[in-house]
Amino acid sequence: MRERREGEDDKVAFPELFFDLVFVFSLIQLSHTLAGHYSLMGALEALLMILAVWWVWIFTTWVTNWLDPDRMPVRAMLFALMFGALLLSTAINDAFGDKALLFAISYVAMQVGRSLFTVYAMHGHSPDNARDFLRITCWLILSGVFWIAGALIGGEAQLFIWIAALTIEYVSPAVGFRVPGLGRSEFDDWDVLGAHMAERCALFVLICLGETILVTGRTLAEMEVTPLVFVLAVSSFGSTVTMWWIYFRFGQERAAAQIESDESPGEVARTIFTYAHIPVVAGIILCAVADEFVLAHPHGAIDLKTASAIIGGPIVFLAGNVWIKSSVAPGLSVSHLAGIGLLVLAAPLAFVVEPHVLLIISFIILVIVAVWEYLTLKSVR
């Protein structure tokens, strides 16, 4: 099986786009689960689900960074992963209940199966990459023991065992997937197609933003049209558009260019795409939950869950963008940090304003961030 090459092969292929479709359902399940079980424990469980779904997706993206999805065996692998992701997604709502084992088995089968396939696909023409994925497989098998054990044990212990499983997986890239007898991976030697990785992650962010539009549209369709509902529709949709602008206008292309020109592209790609996109994705999902809360109950006193979603979603989103942009350009994004500060200052308003007012305020702050960054970077060009 041939690998991707620079140039024409670094574009996202149709099988990859088809693979992404199942994650639309995953994100819908995640936002519904978080909205329906919005508490400290529910948020922790939802965060674990988000991290697991992201890890499945980003690991597959790394694989298709090297393997050509237009080759039939790679396509078959992607289709098998799609079915696994479909099963995984159906289990999200009850992953800490009756469907724990379905979630765990689907997840482990996808992670370990994909890595073993990659070892097989690369062993003949790229032994170094095959050895890297053999190391990765060892780590995934280790974490898989915890996933299955947590599902079988259940109860209060399940969450902590699954946290241990995710910790193993998230720590593994940071230590180079070191395995006794196999050594560790050197990310300086990883050949990364920066344009491909950047486009893949950008498409996932688009899926997340699209999910917020679905939530807004579905909720509005069940409501009577009034001036307030129209204003809320503008605020919700406007927030989605503004988040698109903040992420795509100055961040995504710079990330691709930085990886293409960096002497250690694997190291930069690991930071930007494997880790730094997590708060971006989580923040967008939280914003979708906030829209659902406010559109359903725009009046009255603001409870803690609504306030935390309205303020917390944009904060987490902006923090992720700070991480990405500071990784590809010197210094931190002042506009983003100012936006986080304004959102923190706006938090006490939850005690004196109604939910729809706080949502409008958060939207205005996002617009301020977008305009500030645009004018600043335009002036230095």
Q: Is the model's pLDDT at 120 over the cut of 60?
A: yes
CB proximity list for 37: less than 8 A, separation 6 or greater = 45, 46
Domains assigned to the chain: 8-185 (no CATH), 194-379 (1.20.1410)
pTM over 0.85: yes
The DSSP line for 24-50 is HHHHHHHHHHHHHT-SHHHHHHHHHHH
What are the pLDDT digits (tens) for 196-237?
A: 788 888 899 999 999 889 888 887 888 787 888 889 889 999
* Sign (positive or negative) of CA dihedral 65, 329, 317, 378: negative
Quick one: pLDDT at residue 2? 47
Quick one: pLDDT at residue 263? 61
Pairwise CA distance, residues 373 & 249, whole Å: 9
What are the pLDDT digits (tens) for 235-255?
A: 999 999 999 999 987 666 666
What are the pLDDT digits (tens) for 296-337?
A: 888 888 999 999 999 999 999 999 999 988 877 766 689 999
Task: Please state, as a whole number, how many other Cβ atoms lie within 10 Å of the Cβ of residue 21.
Answer: 12
Q: How confident is the model at residue 261 (pLDDT cuts 50, 70, 90)?
A: low
Token couple for 5: 């090459």
